[in-house]
Amino acid sequence: MTVAAFDTLDYDYTASVAETAMRLMGEQRVPPTPNNFHVWFKYCLGSSPELKRTIDILIGNRRKFDAATNHDLFATYAGSQIVAEEAVLNNASDHLHSVMTSARQFLTTAIAQMRAISDVTERTEAGFDPRSLVESVMSELAKAAARAAKLEVGFDEKTRELDAIRDSLNKSEERAKTDILTGLPNRRALDEFFRKAQIAAMENGEPLSILLIDIDHFKQFNDNFGHAVGDQVLRLVAKALRDRVRDIDLPARYGGEELIAVLPGANLAICTAVAERIRRSMAECQITRRSTGEILPGITVSIGVGQFQFGEAMADLIDRCDRALYLAKKSGRNRVVSENELNQEMAG
Please give the backbone phi and psi of residue 338, each rounded to the nearest 5 degrees, phi first: -100, 165
Tell me the window of 77-85, 107-115, 216-224, 281-289 that interacts with Mg ion (CB under 5 A).
Answer: 216-224
Identify what 329 binds: Mg ion, ligand GH3, none; CB under 5 to 8 Å per kind: ligand GH3
Of residues 39-58, which lie at the interface with Mg ion (CB under 5 A)? Answer: none
- 218-257 residues in contact with Mg ion (CB under 5 A) are 218
E strands, the chain, in order:
208-215, 250-255, 258-264, 287-288, 295-296, 301-307, 336-338
State yes or no: residue 218 binds ligand GH3 (CB under 6 A): yes
Question: At 81, which amino acid appears?
Answer: Q
Question: Which entry of ligand GH3, Mg ion, none binds 66, CB below 5 to 8 A by partner kind?
Answer: none
Which residue from 63, 95, 123, 217 is in contact with ligand GH3, where contact means CB under 6 A? 217
In sequence order, what are the beta bridge partners of 214?
A: 258, 302
**Where does 210-313 have alpha helices with state H?**
218-225, 227-243, 268-283
Contacted by 231, from ligand GH3, Mg ion, none: CB < 5 to 8 Å by type: ligand GH3
214 binds Mg ion (CB under 5 A): yes
Output the smallest distance, CB 285 to Mg ion, in A.
17
| CA dist., res. 253 & res. 119, Å (int) | 70
The pattern of x and - marking residues 317 through 346 that bind ligand GH3 according to CB under 6 A reads ------------x---x-------------
Contact 201, 311 (CB under 8 A): no
Q: Which of 97, 227, 246, 289 binds ligand GH3 (CB under 6 A)?
A: 227
The distance of closest approach from Cβ of residue 212 to ligand GH3 in the complex, given in angstroms and rounded to an integer, is 12
Handedness of CA 308, 311, 315, 316 (dihedral sign): negative
3-state SS assignment for residue 247: coil
Q: Is-catalytic flag, 258?
A: no
DSSP letters for 118-164: HHHHHHHHTT--HHHHHHHHHHHHHHHHHHHHHHHHHHHHHHHHHHH
Among 140, 257, 258, 339, which one carries the catalytic annotation?
257
Angle, helices 218-225/227-243, rounded to nearest 10 degrees: 130
The least distance separating ligand GH3 from the CB of residue 148, rounded to whole angstroms, comes to 59
Alpha-carbon gap, residue 31 to 39, rounded angstroms:
12
Q: Does 231 bind ligand GH3 (CB under 6 A)?
A: yes
Per CB under 6 A, residues contacting ligand GH3 are 181, 214-220, 222, 227, 230-231, 234, 256-257, 329, 333
Per CB under 5 A, residues contacting Mg ion are 214-215, 218
**Residues belonging to the active site:** 257
